[in-house]
Amino acid sequence: MNPDQLPDNPYLLLTPGPLSTTKTVKAAMLRDWCTWDADYNRLVQSVRHDLVSLAGALDTHTAVLMQGSGTFCVEATVTTAIPPTGKLLVLANGAYGRRIVDIARRCGIDHRVIDSGELAPPDTQRVDTVLAADPAITTWPWCTVKPPPACSTRQPRSPASSRPTGAFSSSTP
């Protein structure tokens, strides 16, 4: 076999990380970025601005970039973004949803769960019904992944609910 026809990385790692990172990403990681450098701060501010702009919320929201595993980022958000008297409506449709439930339980955060299973997106009518019936719910997180098209986990919308959702998202590759 011609070595030029072999992939750069013969491993298939289902959890992204250094083993499955492309050569171009590895090369970019060779540069040290320091939080006090103006170049770094401009880059981070640009990414934050673009993310909030995509959401159409420049006047009301911000983006906080977090480095770490998906579970780390979800735990950090759940344990800091929920008001002390807040309540979560967890839209669980896979491992991250179950982790949010576990994190909320372990941290004593009041929560309710709508579990749609591994393959179905959350039922928006059920979300509307639960939100209408429980005014104590302040926040409803969801996690998005890049599944096959048949396993779409699109962000749920709640058109019937007139109150703010307080929703946040964690996107994992």
One pLDDT digit (tens) per residue for the chain, 173 residues: 455 665 566 555 555 555 666 777 777 777 888 888 899 899 999 999 998 898 788 898 888 888 777 788 888 888 888 888 889 899 888 888 888 999 999 999 999 999 988 888 788 888 889 988 998 988 887 665 544 333 333 344 444 444 444 445 444 44
Q: Under a CB-based contact definition with an 8 Å cutoff, are residues 90 and 112 in contact? A: yes
Domain stop point among 65, 99, 118: 65
Total of domains in the chain: 2
Instruction: Give the pair of three-digit tokens for residue 144.
Output: 């998005």
One domain for residues 37 and 116: no
* CA–CA gap between residue 68 and residue 34 (Å, rounded): 17
80 and 135 fall within a common domain = yes
Same domain, 137 and 163: yes
SS3 readout for 41-61: HHHHHHHHHHHHHHCCCCCCC
61 lies in the same domain as 98: no
Q: How many Å apart are CA 90 and CA 114, to the nearest integer?
A: 6
Q: Structural domain of residue 121, as residue ranges?
A: 68-171
